[in-house]
């Protein structure tokens, strides 16, 4: 089921502070991904927050377009790429997708980049858990 429920959105200020203070991150243009595992009760394996910078995109219309495209790309790929890798995990993965691109890209470009970013996220998680 390709939905994006409220429970999949990261809203908790405590968790956001924890993510940005103690989380790991990597850059895969045009995204910067920060992630961390936490021990909290959850119904979904991951929670995400999506950001677009006001400094680079002054008009709210542009920021909203970027965030809408990123949400849609994530919604379509989470079931096939991310969730199978997190299956059986007792902890909740919290992560942020920050848009660092300098211009507004097409949906197809963002789709390819999101797939690569999610695969790299899974690889980083497996490396962190393995060591």
Model pLDDT for residues 60-118, shown as the tens digit of each residue: 999 999 999 999 999 999 999 999 999 888 899 999 999 999 999 999 999 999 999 99
Residue 131, pLDDT above cutoff 70: no
- Give phi and psi for 87, each to the nearest 5: -60, 135
Residue-averaged pLDDT of the chain = 94
Tell me how long the chain is: 131
pLDDT of residue 1: 63
How far from chain centre, in Å, is Cα 58?
Answer: 23
What does pTM read for this prediction?
0.92
Tell me the β-bridge partners of 93: 37, 46
- Quick one: which of 56, 60, 35, 32 has its CA closest to 45? 35
pLDDT of residue 22: 93
Residue 129, pLDDT above cutoff 80: no
Q: How many CB atoms lie within 10 A of CB 69?
A: 21
Q: How many CB atoms lie within 10 A of CB 94?
A: 23
- Give phi and psi for 114, each to the nearest 5: -65, -40
């Amino acid at each position: 089921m390709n939905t994006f429920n409220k429970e999949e959105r990261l809203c908790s200020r405590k968790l956001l502070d924890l993510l940005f203070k103690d989380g790991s991150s990597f850059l895969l243009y045009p995204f910067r991904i920060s992630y961390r595992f936490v021990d909290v009760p959850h119904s979904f394996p991951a929670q995400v927050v999506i950001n677009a910078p006001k400094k680079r995109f002054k008009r709210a219309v542009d920021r909203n377009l970027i965030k809408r495209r990123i949400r849609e790309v994530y919604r379509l790929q989470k079931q096939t790429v991310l969730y199978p890798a997190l299956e059986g995990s007792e902890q909740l993965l919290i992560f942020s997708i920050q848009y660092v691109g300098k211009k507004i890209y097409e949906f197809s470009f963002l789709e390819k980049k999101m797939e690569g970013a999610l695969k790299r996220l899974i690889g980083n998680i497996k490396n962190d858990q393995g060591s």
